[in-house]
Amino acid sequence: MAAHAHAEHVEHHGPPAPHFSSRVTPGVLGMFLFIASEIMLFGSFFTAYFFVRVVNGTPWPTPPFHLPVYVAFVNTCILVTSSFTMHWALQSIKRGNVWGLRAGLLLTFLMGLTFLITQAVEYSRIGFNTSDGAFATIFFCLTGLHGVHVFVGLSILLFMTIRAFRGHFSAEEHHGVEIGGIYWHFVDVMWIVVYMTVYIL
């Protein structure tokens, strides 16, 4: 009992113990706040979509236009697969497997790039543009906004991949991959919602 009391006394005799209001690291908290603001940005476009399609009752897609649902489905599969490779990359480095990390990040980057190129090709062949009514405007705004996010995600992935090949990450230090991975999965989640609402429903 006395030893316990002494141990507690020895433990600290300076200023009072700090209050840890959050156990989230600043980097993760920053990414979380950024994603929260992104959700609000996407939310504004989805609100416009809701008004155009539900409140105004605009046909979706407006005749005579058609949406390339199957190409977009293949693109969706590519993007979802890239989340698996991203997860694999992080799991690899957590086990100290540097080559697993490098291969995972490289595959994720290549699949993300494929998605973006396919979307660009789809835009060029789709047969309408932003001036062809509210339907077309909302289509390009939602898919284009997501495309911009994929581009940002690819930029982050590029930095991560270069750093991985320069030997910057280890089983103990891989925070850069963790944060980039959260963003990439968020981009994927947003695409699932965009694809479902714009192309399928």
Classify 187 in phi/psi space as left (phi over 0), alpha (psi -120 to 50) or beta: alpha
Q: Is 9 in the site for other proteins (CB under 8 A)?
A: yes
Show contacts with other proteins in window 52-91 (CB under 8 A). 80, 83, 86-87, 90
Q: Could you tell me which residues come within 8 angstroms of residue 36 by beta carbon, excluding any fewer than 6 positions away?
A: none
Binding segment for other proteins (CB under 8 A), chosen from 55-63, 115-123, 131-139, 173-181, is 173-181
176 with 168: CB under 8 angstroms? yes
Nearer to other proteins, 67 or 86 (CB): 86
Q: How far apart are the first and last CA of the chain?
A: 68
Residue 19 main-chain phi, psi, to 5 deg: -105, 115
From the CB of 138, what's the least distance to other proteins, in Å? 19
Binding segment for other proteins (CB under 8 A), chosen from 25-33, 95-103, 110-118, 119-127, is 25-33
83 Cα distance to chain centroid: 9
Q: Is 103 in the site for other proteins (CB under 8 A)?
A: no
Nearer to other proteins, 138 or 187 (CB): 187
Rounded CA separation 148/85 (Å): 21
In this structure, what token pair is assigned to residue 28?
A: 């993760």
Q: Is 38 in the site for other proteins (CB under 8 A)?
A: no
Nearer to other proteins, 73 or 127 (CB): 73
58 Cα distance to chain centroid: 30
Interacting residues with other proteins (CB under 8 A): 9-18, 20, 23-24, 27-28, 31-32, 35, 80, 83, 86-87, 90, 159, 163, 168-169, 173, 175-179, 181-182, 185-186, 188-189, 192-193, 196, 200-201
